[in-house]
Structure 1
Amino acid sequence: MRTTLKNPTGEPPFATALNLAKVLKVPVAYFYCDDDRLAELLVQYGRLDRNGKSKVLAFAAELSSVGH
């Protein structure tokens, strides 16, 4: 499970988040996500190649247009 990283002045410096993301092999957006399901989606998305990412985006667009 993701934890929120904070210091007394608010969010950690962005450079720190970038370094952590690189070491943990997750997108930096993961640390700023307030929804655990979306955070998991970000991790999975980050593991995809360009083609896989295009497919996910197309599928999401299709899902969001259903019923509208």
Structure 2
Amino acid sequence: MNNSHDHNQRLQKILFLIALKGKVSSAELCQRFQLTDKEVQQDFKLLEKAHLLKISQGSAYQAKLKE
């Protein structure tokens, strides 16, 4: 990974895939981005902390927006 710009782009792509598909697995993202499971889980945790997704059993799905 080059820098934080590349990482931010990857996070945006993860969010796009979740918005498109509803749910993505860690294994799918490992293959798509050529990452380790640990790296994907770190991304999931970062996005979950920002309330942008929820994590469940090795997958991530779109967080419900608060009304």
Considering only CA atoms, is the larger Rg found in Structure 1 or Structure 2? 1
Query: Does TM-score exceed 0.5, indicating one fold?
Result: no
- Select the structure with the greater relative contact order (CA < 8 A; seq sep ≥ 6): 2
Higher strand share: 2
Higher fraction of helix: 1
Normalised by the length of structure 2, the TM-score is 0.29
So what's the TM-score if we normalise by structure 1?
0.28
